[in-house]
Amino acid sequence: MAEQETKALPADSRALGLDAQLCFALYSAQLAMGKIYRQQLADLGLTYPQYLVMLVLWETDGLTVSALGDRLYLDSATLTPLLKRLQSLGLLSRNRSQADQRQVLVSLTPAGRALQNQAQVIPHGVLCATGCSPDQAQVLKSSLETLRAHLLHAAIENPAIQ
């Protein structure tokens, strides 16, 4: 068998290396984080996106679908199947607003509220898996929030990026 040669990238092409990409570092970290959440959420019977919906509702119950989507950066086409599944699990209800029939209000059921008690252990389990101290995790979270804000601003300022 002939051995394949490994060629070094020209100096000006190094920026195109996979390991040089910030997006890949974020993407691969998100995949690893997803594995941890799958393990942590198994006992709750929730997926990570479903967990995010529940987190928002545990903070503020009775939100409209659009307010929930805004909080999670999700459009209604992505959010609606999540809400239907959580409703079928008996964790939330969706009802038309009495004040404005065009709006759908999402509210926790008693079972959805009760699940919050079981979920109390999730943040600690995830923090332990990161290997970060609480202070390190807070600094990282803050940096990512700043990055998100800059990227969203850039996307608005330059729609060609989208």
Across the strands, what pairs with 93?
107
- 99-130 pLDDT, tens digit per residue, is 887 889 999 999 999 999 999 999 999 999 99
Considering only CA atoms, which of 41, 46, 42 is closest in space to residue 90?
A: 46
Q: Which long-range contacts (CB under 8 A, 24 or more apart) does 47-50 make?
A: 49/82, 50/82, 50/85, 50/86
The average pLDDT across 82-102 equals: 92
3 has a pLDDT exceeding 90? no
Kindly state the DSSP code that residue 83 receives in the 8-state scheme: H
Collapsing DSSP states into helix, strand and coil, what is residue 96? strand
Residue with tokens 């997803």: 34
- To the nearest 10°, report the CA torsion of 26, 28, 34, 39: -140
162 has a pLDDT exceeding 90? no
CATH 1.10.10.10 at 22-131, yes or no: yes
CA distance 121 to 22: 31
The pLDDT score that the predictor gives to residue 8 is: 63
- 25-49 pLDDT, tens digit per residue, is 999 999 999 999 999 999 999 999 9
Q: Are 40 and 126 in contact (CB under 8 A)?
A: yes
Domain ranges of the chain: 22-131
80 has a pLDDT exceeding 80? yes
The pLDDT score that the predictor gives to residue 9 is: 56
Q: Which residue has the higher pLDDT, 21 or 1?
A: 21
Q: Indicate whether this model's pTM tops 0.75.
A: yes
Q: Cα-atom radius of gyration of the chain, to the nearest Å?
A: 21
* pLDDT averaged over every residue in the chain: 91
| CA atoms in the 13 A half-sphere facing the CB of 67 | 13
Q: Are 48 and 34 in contact (CB under 8 A)?
A: yes
The pLDDT score that the predictor gives to residue 29 is: 97
